[in-house]
């Protein structure tokens, strides 16, 4: 059985850890509120913009939209993997890594074997993970979460779009965690380029039945909307991942605090039992000594 000094040391250590997890939970909760507000504001705008894009681009020459809708033979693939910069957020990053590895294994193993698959990490965890495993990594914008705003996201999206237009890649996909609630994230694997048909939803309404009055012209608007829509979709994915990260960290720190409570209960019980055993032993030694003295007399 551990001695009292060791148990006291362990209790002190767990209490200190619990204070840290409580503080981290509070910080994550504050960050979550801000991230969630930005994400909620962006969702309807991004989805409505996609619906408008689909409607006004119907019947327009593909050359006008810069080849963003043209399906090409898949010879080179870029996968954008969005994770966090820091850990202590439960399985948030691990789920992305597992999903990416499984997705590649099931669909693009031949591209990976031939060296025609590139990872575009957003978040230090993704950068470290894929770099250490000898993937072809484009690390130009992996520190985006250091200063997450639309201007920085726009630069990263423009870079990816430029690489696609130069035919460096024939398809671009993005893997990220979508925020559902504090305790749950939804893993998304979406095609970023070429543009796919957006689904009708509660925000967009019926795409085919919507009639727009266009000024100055459909061609001009398509040229303006397509790049902007792609940048917005990319920024939205980052906002979703950021909110999901804070929710996952808040949940993880809450569970860690609860686990610390359980450990403290066990340690305090062990401490009391050890202390009681030590006192009982001392009493027995005193009684034994007194009896020995009585026998000598």
pLDDT in the model for residue 231: 93
Catalogue all structural domains in the chain, each as residue range(s) with its CATH number.
31-247 (3.40.1380.10)
Per-chain mean pLDDT for the chain? 86
- Nearest Cα neighbor of 39 from 175, 235, 247 is 235
pLDDT in the model for residue 84: 96
pLDDT in the model for residue 12: 92
**Total-model pTM:** 0.84
Which residue numbers are catalytic?
A: 89
- What phi, psi does 24 have (nearest 5°)? -65, -35
Rounded Cα–Cα distance for residues 271 and 5 (Å): 9
Q: Are 14 and 266 in contact (CB under 8 A)?
A: no
Q: Low-confidence residues of the chain, pLDDT below 50?
A: 202-207
Beta-carbon contacts of residue 27 (< 8 Å; ≥ 6 apart): none
Q: pLDDT by residue (tens digit) across 187-223?
A: 999 999 988 755 555 444 444 555 666 677 767 777 7
3-class SS at 196?
Answer: coil
Q: pLDDT by residue (tens digit) across 15-45?
A: 999 999 999 999 999 999 999 999 999 989 8
pLDDT in the model for residue 293: 74
């Amino acid at each position: 059985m551990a001695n009292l000094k060791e148990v006291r040391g362990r209790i002190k250590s767990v209490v200190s850890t619990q204070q840290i997890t409580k503080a981290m939970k509070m910080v994550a909760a504050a960050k979550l509120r801000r991230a969630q507000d930005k994400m909620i504001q962006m969702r309807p705008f991004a989805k409505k913009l996609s619906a408008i894009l689909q409607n006004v681009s119907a019947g327009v020459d593909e050359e006008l939209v810069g080849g963003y809708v043209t399906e090409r033979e898949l010879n080179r693939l870029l996968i954008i993997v969005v994770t966090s910069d820091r850990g202590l957020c439960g399985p948030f990053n691990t789920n992305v890594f597992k999903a990416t590895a499984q997705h590649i294994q099931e669909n693009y193993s031949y591209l990976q074997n031939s060296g025609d698959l590139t990872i575009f990490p957003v978040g230090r965890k993704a950068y470290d993970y894929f770099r250490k495993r000898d993937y072809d990594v484009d690390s130009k914008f992996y520190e985006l979460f250091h200063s997450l705003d639309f201007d920085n996201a726009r630069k990263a999206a423009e870079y990816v779009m430029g690489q696609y237009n130069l035919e460096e890649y024939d398809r671009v996909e993005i893997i990220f965690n979508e925020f559902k609630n504090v305790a749950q994230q939804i893993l998304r694997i979406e095609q970023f380029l070429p543009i796919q048909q957006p689904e009708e939803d509660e925000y967009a309404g019926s795409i085919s039945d919507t009639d727009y009055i266009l000024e100055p012209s459909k061609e001009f608007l398509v040229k303006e909307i397509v790049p902007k829509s792609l940048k917005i979709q990319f920024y939205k994915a980052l906002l979703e991942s950021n909110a999901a990260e804070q929710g996952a960290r808040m949940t993880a720190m809450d569970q860690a605090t609860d686990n610390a409570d359980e450990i403290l209960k066990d340690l305090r019980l062990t401490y009391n039992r050890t202390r009681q055993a030590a006192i009982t032993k001392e009493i027995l030694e005193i009684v034994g000594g007194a009896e020995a003295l009585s026998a000598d007399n």
